[in-house]
Every structure is written in structure tokens, then in C-alpha cells.
Amino acid sequence: MTSVVQVSWAREVCRGLAALECREVVWVPDNPLSHVLRALEQDHPDIRTTIATREEEAFGIAAGLYLGGARPVVMLQSSGLGNSINALASLNVAFEIPVLMLVTMRGGDGEWNPTQQPMGRAVRPILDSLEIPHSTIESADRAEAIVRHVGQRAFATRRPGACLLARALWGEAGSGKREE
Amino acid sequence: MTRLEATRRLRVLLKTEAVIASLGHPAYDLFEAGDRAENFYLWGSMGLASSIGLGIAMAQPGRRVVVLDGDGSLLMNLGSLATIATVAPPNLLLLVWDNELYGTTGGQPTATAEGSDLAEAAQALGIRQAVTVREPEAFDKVVDRALREPGPWVIVAKVGESGTASKPPLDSPMIKRRFMAAIGCPE
Ligand SMILES: Cc1ncc(C[n+]2csc(CCOP(=O)(O)OP(=O)(O)O)c2C)c(N)n1
Ligand SMILES: [Mg+2]
């Protein structure tokens, strides 16, 4: 069983997606995202989830969903932003195709895997260089509001918008469980 | 047959289908064969035409979606075939213009020149209706069928280069708005 705290942040994030009328989530796996997927399954069975083989592909599928009238979400680990830069630049930004991004942030304090550090550090500068607004979510009680805010701005201005899910939000302090 | 000839043959069969063309020569030839509001021309995002087409097919199950990909571009996003197989949208046709070249960047050979078989790859990844065609008559027949019968379909058309000079508009946001309005979801 997952702890109450984890379920609560994931549920709050999903409430934000539902309030935005996002019914399409394209994703590439990461450990904390499994909580979001479980919350979607339990609380929002009307939201379709589609797994992609690579994050760049996920942004392509999401762009197509938008062209077809949906409000898409892409969920990825911070490392996957590196796999997606050209799609964000030449598709989302160039065509003015919005997408709401949920990015689980690796690297930083508490990171056990050194290979996650460089990309983790690069996430915000990369988003800034593409002029993609981003907000960091650090606590469950702010999660729904931040998701709504970032999503509303993204779909109103036809740009991508990113919610960065901090370790403080999803980390399993003291559980000893590793994030791959 | 050249890619432009094949694109013209496809154009004759089209009605209200959404058509997504991969960057470079596939997009140039689609424009040359006759511009229409239901066409979406990429200028970059190499590899993503099939993913964009999948997303449109998912959002618009009542509309046929045709993707015009290049062999080099599909090789850059082969995982897309696995995702298409898994989602299995019946309204998606992925047409691969296989000239065995990166034609747009000067004609460097792709892996299909050495025997890599994209239709077999599609089958191996779970798309049962995946075929290779070479002759114009066979092309017309299978495309006509794929536009009517449930897919997903992958048709790999072996084509020669066309040398098309005309290019689609560079105003990508305009193309997007025109496309969305034409397929019934104006922004
Ligand atoms: C990410 C990326 N890598 C490389 C290029 C350069 N490029 C543009 S078109 C192209 C070749 C595409 O080949 P293919 O899909 O087979 O189409 P063809 O030109 O042969 O019709 C390449 C390599 C690019 N635009 N983007
Ligand atoms: Mg080619």
C-alpha cells in the first residue's frame, strides 16, 4: 500500500487536470507517476492514458490530440525533457500548440543516482530558453491550484506549460525505496 | 513511380481525410499535388509525423487520418509503430515513402537501401495490415482499400525521388489554424 501522503498529492494533481478538462494523458513511466496513474484510474476513469516509447514521441501524440480538439497532458521524468527538446521547439512552440507537462524532477539534494544530476540541473534553463513557463510543486496542498494555473495559461496562450514535481512532493522520506 | 506521382495518385482518392506530411520532400510533394485545408505540413520535428497522426486519429475517431512519412523519418521514431500497434486506431493509415534515401538532405542512403524492411518491422511490432508496394496499380488498390477498411494500416511504397521545387507555406500557426478549422475543431 502507498502512504496517505503520496496518494493525496497525486489526487490533487489529478483534480487539477480534471478541472482543466484535460481528458488525454500521454506518458513515459517514472516511479512517482505511478501514483498519478492510480489516482486517474480511481478518481477519473474518463481520462484516457496512453503510454509512449519515448518522450519526444509523447509530445508528437499530444500535439495530434490537440489538433483533433483535445487538451493534452504529457507526463515524464526530468531526464525525458532531454529527449523532447526538438519536439517542443519545432512543433509546440513553432506551431503554437499547447500542452500541459507534468515533470517529475530528479537530481538535486537527495538524489542517489549521479547520472540524473546534469539533466536535472538543465531542466529550468532549457525551459527558459524555449520561453516555456514553469512552476514547481512542492506540497500537496498547492498541487491542484498550480496545475490549474499552469494549464489555464498554457491553453489560453497556446504555449506549453510545465509543472515541475519536486522531490519534496513525491519523495519517500525514510522508506529506503529507490527511484530508478 | 516517383513520390510525386504516388502523391498525385493518393490525392485523387482523398475526400475529407486529414493528411499529415513529414518534413522536406514528402511535404513539398503533398503541396505540389494540390493544397487543401485538411493538409498539415511539417517543417521540422523529424520523425513525429506518425505520432501526430496517431494523436489526431485518437481524438477524431470518426475521421480517416493519413500520414505521409519518409523512410528516414520513420527510422528516427520506430517506437511509434509499437505505440500505433498498441493503440490500434482503426482510422489511421501510415504511408511510408521509401526512396531508400534521406532525399531532402542530399540523398544519403538509409538502412532500407541495405535491406531493412519497414513493413516487416511494422508487422513484427504488431501492425498486421502492413504491406510493401512498388507498382502504381497495386498502390492505388491497397490505398483505396486502406481508406475504407478498418486499420491501422502501414503501406510502404517504394518510390523514386521527384525533384519538386514548390514548397508549402512557412506560416506554421496559419497552417495549424486552417487545418483545425477544416477538421471541425476551430481554435
Ligand atoms: C531532428 C532532425 N535531424 C535531421 C534533420 C535534417 N533532415 C531534414 S529532412 C531529412 C531527411 C528525411 O528523410 P526521409 O524522411 O527519408 O524523407 P526524404 O527526404 O527522403 O523524402 C533530414 C535528415 C532535421 N531536420 N531534424
Ligand atoms: Mg527517404
Please give the number of the atom of ligand 1 that sits closest to the Cα of B70: 15
Residues 51-90 of B with CB under 8 A from A: 51-60, 77, 79-80, 82-83, 86-87
Answer whether residue B77 shows pLDDT above 80.
yes
Question: Residue A10: is its pLDDT beyond 60?
Answer: yes
Question: Which pLDDT does position A177 carry in this prediction?
Answer: 54
Residue B98 CA: nearest ligand 1 atom is 16
Which amino acid is present at A142?
R
Which of B43, B48, B179 should be substituted to probe chain A, the one whose Cβ sees the most A Cβ atoms within 10 Å?
B48
Task: Please determine, for residue A66, whether its predicted confidence score (pLDDT) is greater than 90.
Answer: yes
The answer to whether B121 contacts chain A (CB < 8 Å) is no
| CATH 3.40.50.970 applies to domain B3-182 | yes
Q: Rounded to two decimals, what is the model's pTM?
A: 0.97
pLDDT value of position A176: 39
Closest CA to A21 of A152, A164, A133, A163: A152
Give all strands (DSSP E) within A3-159, no chain letters.
24-27, 48-51, 72-77, 99-104, 134-137
pLDDT in tens, B10-56: 999 999 999 999 999 999 999 999 999 999 999 999 999 999 999 99
Calpha distance B177→A162 (Å, rounded): 23
- Give yes or no for residue A175 having a pLDDT over 60: no
Q: What value of ipTM does the predicted structure carry?
A: 0.98
- Do B38 and B182 meet the contact criterion of CB atoms below 8 Å apart? yes
Domains of chain A, CATH where assigned:
3-169 (3.40.50.970)
* Residues A51-61 pLDDT 10s: 999 999 999 99
Chain B partners within 8 Å of A69 (Cβ): 59-60, 180, 184-185
- The residue type at B9: R
Comparison of pLDDT for A157 and B163, the residue scoring more: A157
Could you say which of A64, A96, A158 has the minimum Cβ distance to residue B51? A64
* Tally of CB atoms within 10 A around A177: 8
- Residue of B23, B46, B58, B175 best to disrupt the A interface, most CBs of A under 10 A: B58
CA distance A57 to A51: 10
**Could you tell me what percent of chain B has a pLDDT over 70?**
100
B45 interface with A at CB cutoff 8 Å: yes
Q: What is the pLDDT of residue B49?
A: 99
CB–CB contact A64 B53 (8 Å):
yes
The grid coordinates of residue A29 equal 513511466
Return mean pLDDT, chain B: 98
What is the phi/psi pair of residue B105, to 5°? -100, 15
Confidence band (pLDDT; 50, 70, 90) for B80?
Answer: very high
- Judged against a pLDDT cut of 50, whether residue A174 lies above it is answered with no
Hey, which of A86, A88, A90 would you mutate to test ligand 1's pocket, going by the most ligand atoms within 8 Å of its Cβ?
A86
List, chain by chain if needed, residues with CB within 6 Å of any ligand 1 atom. Answer: A 86; B 22-26, 44, 46, 70-73, 97, 99, 101-105, 110
Q: Is A76 helix (H, G, I), strand (E, B) or coil?
A: strand
For residue A72, report the phi and psi dihedrals to the nearest 5 degrees. -85, 155
Condensed to tens digits (0 to 9), the pLDDT of residues A131-147 reads 999 999 999 999 999 99
pLDDT at A109 over 50: yes
- The pLDDT tens digits for B46-62 are 999 999 999 999 999 99
So where are chain B's domains?
Answer: 3-182
pLDDT at B165: 86
CA distances, A169 to each of A19, A33, B12 (Å): 21, 12, 55
